[in-house]
Structure 1
Amino acid sequence: MSEEGTREPEGPHTPAAVPQRPAPPQRVEYVLAPGLQLLDLAGPAQVFGTAAEASGRGWAPSYIAEAATVLSHQGLPLRAETEWQPLHPSDLLVVPGWQVGGQRRPVPLGAALLDRIAAHHAQGGTVMSVCAGAFALARAGLLDGRRATTHHALQDELARLHPTARVVRDVLFVRDGRILTSAGIASGIDLALDLVAQRMGSRLASRVARAMVVYVRRNGHAPQESVMLRHRDHVDDLVHRAQDLIDDRYAESLSLTLLARELRVSERTLTRAFSRTLGTTPLRYQQSLRRERAQLLVGAGADSETAARAVGFRDARMLRTLRRRSGGITPP
C-alpha cells in the first residue's frame, strides 16, 4: 500500500474498540459577571447552540448572575436568573471574561457564585473559562497546581495574584482534567469547538465551524491544538468531505480506494486535492489524528500500548515511529 492511501504500513488488522466519547452536557450554565465581554459569552454560546441544533442533543443554555440585569462592557444589558437550579455533574459551567483594569476588580463575582463554581467541579462537573474568567476559577481554588491560561495581557497578573497556578503563556487554550481555560475573546470559540469534537465527534465540530465560518485554527503552536481544526483553514469542499469521513472513522483501516469510492471521485483527484489544499496525504492526515488521540489517552492515564490499539495501530511501535518522525515526544 502506498502512502497515498490511509491503511497503515503494518498491514490489515482489527483495531481495539475506541473508548466512547463523554455524553454532551444536558445543560450549559453561563455565569455572567458585571462588565463581561460580549464575545466571551456569545462565541461559546453560538458554538454550543449550533451543536445542539445540528444534533438535537444536549447543550441547553442557562444564564445566572447575582442580579437580574447584568451590564456588559459594551453597554448591552443582559438578563439572567438569580434563583439558581441545582447542577448535575454532566452539566458544563462556563465563566466568560470581563473587562479588567481601571477601577474594576479582578473578579467581580461574589462568594456565592465562586462557591457554586467550586462545588460543581467538586461533584464531578466540568468548568470552562474564557479570558479573565480564569481569575474566577483561581479565586474559587480550582487552579492550585493546575495548568491554565488567559489573555496574553493578563498572564502576568494571573501568575502574580495566584502563584500556585501554572500559567501557560501564549496558547489558545489549556485542558487540565475537568478544568478548561482559554485565552482572550475569540479563543473561547476554539475551546468550545474542541469540546464539541471531544464530546460529539470531529464531524459535528467541523459542521459547526463551517456554519460559523471559522475555519482557521489560530496559533499552531498551541499544546492543546486540534488536528481537525488546524487543517480546516480552507474552502475546498471535496477535502472537507474527505476530512469528515476520516475524522469520524480515524481508527479504521481506510484505503484510498475506499475513500475515493465513498466520495465518488478518482483516487488521483482525491490525492491531488489533499496535496494542493493541505500539503499532505490522506494517510498522513489520519496518522496525525491517531497520534493526537493517543496522546490524549496517555495523558488521561492509559499506557502507550492501550492508547495505540485504541486509535487503530497494531501496537505502540508504529505510534513511537510516527512520533519520532514528527519530532514529537514518545509516550512512556
Structure 2
Amino acid sequence: MTRVVFLLVPGLHLLDLAGPAQVFGTAADAGLPYRLAYVADHPEPGDPQETAPPHPAVPAPAPVAVHTAQGVPLQAPAAWPALTAGDIVLVPGWRWGGRETHAPPVSAHTARRLAGHHAAGGTVASVCAGAFALAHAGLLDGRRCTTHHEIQDALARRHPRATVVRDVLYVTDGRVITSAGIASGIDLALHLVASRHGPGAAARIARTMVVYARRNGDEPQASALLRHRAHVSDAVHRAQDLIDARYARPLPLHTLAAEAGVSERTLTRRFTAATGLTPLRYQQELRLEHAEHLIGQGATTDTAARAVGFTDARMLRRLRART
C-alpha cells in the first residue's frame, strides 16, 4: 500500500490539492494500492526559525485549521504519519503575493521531514509554489525543476543551485517531481500512476476524471494517449483501453471487437472515424512512442523493438523512418 501524504500550508490553492488527490483517490477506487493522508505544516514547539514563520504556531498534536486561497477552511492533523520508502509526499502550491519575502515557505520542522523522507528513499512532489518548500528543504539543489510560469524567475533567484526548466508541465529528477501551475498537478499525479502501474492505468483514470492523459514535459506533450482520445465513442474507448494496457502483445481484431461489444467490421469503421487510424495502426503508434522513449533512455533499436512487442526490429526502423 502506497501512502500519499498531502502537506497543507496556509493559503493553498484548492485545485493544487484536489486535482492530485482526485487522481490517487480514483486510482484507489479502481483497486490500485493507494491510501491518502493529510498533514498540516506545523513547527514543533521550540523549533528554531531563521526568520518569522509564515503562520502562527499551533500546539501539537491538536488538529490545525488551514485557510485556503479560495476561502474554504480545511483541518488536518499536525502529526506526520509513519512513512516508508514507497510513499509519496506532495506539497500543493499556495497563493503567491506577487512579491518575494524572506520567510521560509514552510517551517523548519516540515523542511526536515521532507528532506528526511527523500533521504530514506521516498518520493517528494510539488505543485506550483510548492517547489519553494522543496527548495527550502534543500531538495532542489543540483536538480532540474519547474513551477508556475509567473514565479519561475523568483524560484531561480532565491535558489540559484536549482536548474529551473521553463514552460513544461512537470519535471522528474530522480525521486523529486515538480509541476507547473494549478491544473498541472493532475498531470503530475497521472505521471506517477503511469510510472508505477503503466500508461493504461493512467489512461483509465484520466478517462474517469474526464481529463487528458499527459506525459513528461521533456517528451512530446501531445502523446498518442492524448491525440486520439478526443471523441465520444464508448466502444472505441473500450478498445483503446485494452490496446493501451496490452500494446506490446498481439491483439487480434476479434479480441478488440469482443472487448468493445461490437462486430469486427463495426469496430474498424468506428475506430477509424473516431481516431483517423485503424486499431492496428493505433497500436503501432503506441509501440513506436514507447520505443522512442526507450531509445532516448539509451536502449538499442533491437532491444526497444523487442520490449514494445515487435518481433522484428526492421518494422520499428520502417516506422521511425516514416515519421
Determine if the alignment matches structure 1 residue 281 to structure 2 residue 252: no
CA displacement at 1:222 relative to structure 2: 6.1
Match of 1:113 in 2: 110
CA displacement at 1:249 relative to structure 2: 0.7
1:199 to 1:221, Cα distance in 2 relative to 1, 3 A: closer
**Could you report, residue by residue, the CA deviation over 1:61-92 in whole angstroms, capped at 9, with x for unpaired residues?**
23332151221111222212212233100011
Match of 2:73 in 1: 77
Match of 1:40 in 2: 16
Determine if the alignment matches structure 1 residue 161 to structure 2 residue 143: no
Match of 1:192 in 2: 189
CA displacement at 1:161 relative to structure 2: 2.4
Matched letter for residue 31 of structure 2: S
Paired with 1:123 and 1:299, the residues of 2 have a C-alpha distance of: 29
Determine if the alignment matches structure 1 residue 313 to structure 2 residue 310: yes
SS at match of 2:244: helix
CA displacement at 1:274 relative to structure 2: 2.3
1:304 to 1:132, Cα distance in 2 relative to 1, 3 A: farther
Determine if the alignment matches structure 1 residue 131 to structure 2 residue 128: yes
Match of 1:208 among 184, 205, 212: 205
Paired with 2:264 and 2:216, the residues of 1 have a C-alpha distance of: 29
Paired with 2:292 and 2:174, the residues of 1 have a C-alpha distance of: 14
SS at match of 1:145: coil
Equivalent residues of 2:199, 2:245 under 8 A apart = yes
How high is the TM-score relative to the length of structure 2? 0.82
Equivalent residues of 2:231, 2:274 under 8 A apart = yes
Matched letter for residue 74 of structure 2: L
**Could you report, residue by residue, the CA deviation over 1:34-84 in whole angstroms, capped at 9, with x for unpaired residues?**
111111001111111111112163233233321512211112222122122
> Bigger radius of gyration, 1 or 2?
2
CA displacement at 1:224 relative to structure 2: 6.1
SS at match of 1:163: coil
Equivalent residues of 1:114, 1:136 under 8 A apart = yes
Matched letter for residue 76 of structure 1: V
Matched letter for residue 25 of structure 2: G
Equivalent runs, 1:1-332 vs 2, <5 Å:
26-55=2-31, 57-66=33-42, 67=58, 68-102=64-98, 105=101, 107-214=104-211, 216=212, 223=219, 225=221, 226-298=223-295, 302-314=299-311, 316-326=313-323
SS at match of 1:42: helix
Matched letter for residue 31 of structure 1: L
| Stretch deviating more after TM superposition (107-116 or 223-232) | 223-232
**Could you report, residue by residue, the CA deviation over 1:245-288 in whole angstroms, capped at 9, with x for unpaired residues?**
10111110223343224434333322232222222232232233
Identity %: 60
CA displacement at 1:241 relative to structure 2: 0.3
Paired with 1:318 and 1:142, the residues of 2 have a C-alpha distance of: 43
- 5+ long unaligned stretches in structure 2: 43-57, 59-63
**Could you report, residue by residue, the CA deviation over 1:15-41 in whole angstroms, capped at 9, with x for unpaired residues?**
xxxxxxxxxx52101111111111100
Equivalent residues of 2:87, 2:122 under 8 A apart = yes
1:199 to 1:189, Cα distance in 2 relative to 1, 3 A: same
Paired with 2:35 and 2:171, the residues of 1 have a C-alpha distance of: 21
1:323 to 1:148, Cα distance in 2 relative to 1, 3 A: farther
1:301 to 1:319, Cα distance in 2 relative to 1, 3 A: same
- 5+ long unaligned stretches in structure 1: 1-24, 327-332
1:245 to 1:142, Cα distance in 2 relative to 1, 3 A: same
Paired with 1:161 and 1:187, the residues of 2 have a C-alpha distance of: 23
CA displacement at 1:121 relative to structure 2: 1.6
1:224 to 1:119, Cα distance in 2 relative to 1, 3 A: farther
Paired with 1:308 and 1:146, the residues of 2 have a C-alpha distance of: 31
Paired with 1:192 and 1:220, the residues of 2 have a C-alpha distance of: 11
How high is the TM-score relative to the length of structure 1? 0.80
Q: How many residues are aligned here?
A: 301
Equivalent residues of 1:97, 1:132 under 8 A apart = yes
CA displacement at 1:107 relative to structure 2: 4.8
CA displacement at 1:187 relative to structure 2: 1.1
1:86 to 1:197, Cα distance in 2 relative to 1, 3 A: same
What RMSD in Å do the two structures reach over aligned CA positions? 2.7
Match of 1:15 in 2: none
CA displacement at 1:237 relative to structure 2: 0.5
CA displacement at 1:309 relative to structure 2: 1.8
